[in-house]
Structure 1
Amino acid sequence: MALLEVKNLSISFGGLRAVDDFEINVEKGQLYGLIGPNGAGKTTIFNLLTGVYKPDEGIIVLDGKNIAGKSNIAINKAGIARTFQNIRLFKGLSVIDNVKVGLHNIHEYKYSAITGVLRLPAYFKKEKLMNARALELLKVFGLDGEKDLMATNLPYGKQRKLEIARALATNPKLLLLDEPAAGMNPNETQELMDTIRFVRDNFDMTILLIEHDMRLVAGICEELTVLNFGHILAQGKTSTVLNNPDVITAYLGE
């Protein structure tokens, strides 16, 4: 059974059908790509999957449970985490504290407000556990040596990695990456590809990503869905989809 199963997903804004009858099946452990021209509806779909928008129609089944229409917080707790096209870090916090933000809703790290204010023994115990887990995640991305820096002082590529580390801290089943290679040079993109593969293989993670960098898409995605004006243009194995004449005409411009 697919980890993510979406059927008949649709939403309109002011009478304009932004997403129309969208369907997708993403298998557990899969690295899946969602591509298409600007304005095709890709980010709208991510917003539907994460509860930012409520669909007009359709179902979103995550690991056997329909989460369509639930709140952003409920969907995150159900197991979906995301990054954003425009990086959204807490730039006034340190690198390690950004990751710890993602840990606060995990049961084993939670403590009450009173425990925190009074600095009771449970506070120090939980903080020690959070620090250890956050540092473990930072090591995956080679950021452990910069744990005490302000997030805003990291180079752009490392800020991207920190955002992924923070998303992983919520212990998701499905990770949504919104244009993770945006603004990166070719060397950074190659390193990012290696990192995404590592995350999938070592965190038992399923990944759905939006991306315009075709080198990254062709290099790591096993299957693709192509959107055009809110409709599915093509779907299937990556090599087949990228050689589809309709996709080449509508998206690749060749």
Structure 2
Amino acid sequence: MALLEVKNLGISFGGLRAVDDFNISIEKGCLYGLIGPNGAGKTTVFNMLTGVYLPTDGSIILDGNNVVGKNPAQICQSGIARTFQNIRLFGKMSVLDNVKVALHNEYSYSLGSGILHLNKYKKTETAMNERALEILKVFDMNEQAHILSSNLPYGKQRKLEIARALATNPKLLLLDEPAAGMNPNETAELMDTISLIRDKFDITILLIEHDMKLVSGICEQLTVLNFGMVLTTGTPEAVLNDPEVVTAYLGE
């Protein structure tokens, strides 16, 4: 059974049909790409998958459970985490604390314990610090744990967003244009990092990306969206050589 099964998903804003009859099936452990021209509806799909938008119709089955109608926090707890096209870090918090914020799905203590610094608080904080540093080490950022996230270079801010999403312990990780704004060297390093975290954390990854070198280099399956509808699905080689896909991107 697929980890994610999306059937006949659609959403309308007033008289505009933004996404129509969207279907996708992603097996556990797959590294899957969702591509298409600007304005094709890709981020709208992500917003429906994460509960930001309520679909007008269709179903989103995650690991056998329909998550349509759940709010973003509930969907995160169900096992879907995401990053954003525009970086959304807590700039005045440390790198470590940005990751620890996302660990509260797994670690908790009472308000009283936190105020009085009781043993439960101390043990939980120690465990959270260790777990956050473990995640940061995967991105080679553990040495920068105590600096402000706003002081990180752009490429590392992108990586920190992924690290924070991983801290929620997701089954499915959604990456919205993770290579946006990166230089070629940073993009090449990101490709290796994405493949590594898929294997190390045993998760499934669905990404939106315009960098076709990255897409063809790491994705195992692709779905192309155009004008809110699926144009084609298949292997990167087949999809990227499809005349309809080439036309959609070139606008011919």
Shorter chain as normaliser: what TM range? over 0.9
SS of the equivalent of 2:53 reads coil
Report the counterpart of residue 64 of structure 1 in structure 2. Answer: 64
Distance (whole Å) between structure 1 residues aligned to residue 182 and residue 250 of structure 2: 20
Task: Look up the match of 1:94.
Answer: 94
Per the TM alignment, residue 189 of structure 1 is displaced from its structure 2 partner at its CA by 0.2
Aligned twin of 1:183: 181
Q: Secondary structure at the match of 1:101?
A: helix
- Take 2:55 and 2:250, find their aligned partners in 1: how far apart are those partners? 29
SS at match of 2:69: coil
For residues 112 and 40 of structure 2, the distance between their equivalents in structure 1, rounded to whole angstroms, comes to 48
Identical columns (%): 71
- Alignment partner, residue 243 of structure 1: 241
What is the identity, as a one-letter code, of the residue corresponding to 1:229? F
**Cα distance, 1:237 vs. partner?**
1.1
Map residues 26-65 of structure 1 onto 2, 5 A cutoff.
26-65=26-65
Aligned equivalents of 1:49, 1:63: Cα separation in 2: 13
RMSD: 0.8
For residue 111 of structure 2, what is the aligned residue in structure 1? 113
How big is the shift at 1:118? 1.1
* SS of match in other structure, 1:235: strand
Match of 1:122 among 112, 120, 123: 120
Matches within 5 A, 1:1-254: 1-106=1-106, 109-252=107-250
Secondary structure of the structure 2 residue equivalent to 1:116: helix
TM-score w.r.t. the length of structure 2 is 0.99
| Displacement after TM superposition at 1:90 (Å) | 0.5
Cα deviation for residue 225 of structure 1 reads: 0.5
Q: Structure 2: how far apart are the matches of 1:105 and 1:80?
A: 12
> Structure 2 regions of 5+ residues with no counterpart?
none
After TM superposition, where is structure 1 displaced by more than 3 Å over at least 4 residues in a row? Answer: none
> For 2:199 and 2:89, how far apart are their aligned partners in 1?
25
- Cα distance in 2 for partners of 1:203, 1:117 equals 33
Q: How many residues of Structure 1 are paired with residues of Structure 2 in the alignment? A: 252
Q: Secondary structure at the match of 2:24?
A: strand
Q: CA deviation at 1:69?
A: 1.8
Q: Deviations over 1:26-74 (max 9, x none)?
A: 1000000000011100000000000000001000000000101211011
Question: Alpha-carbon deviation of 1:236?
Answer: 1.1
For residues 147-185 of structure 1, the C-alpha deviation after alignment (integer angstroms, 9 at most, x for no partner) is 000000000000000000000000000000000000000
Greater Cα shift, 244-253 or 45-54: 244-253
Q: Distance in 2 between matches of 1:68 and 1:215?
A: 33
List runs of 5+ in structure 1 lacking aligned partners.
none
SS across alignment from 2:105: coil
CA deviation after TM superposition for structure 1 residue 14, in Å? 1.7
Shift of 1:252: 4.8
Deviation of 1:131 (Å): 0.2
Give the Å deviation of 1:253.
5.6
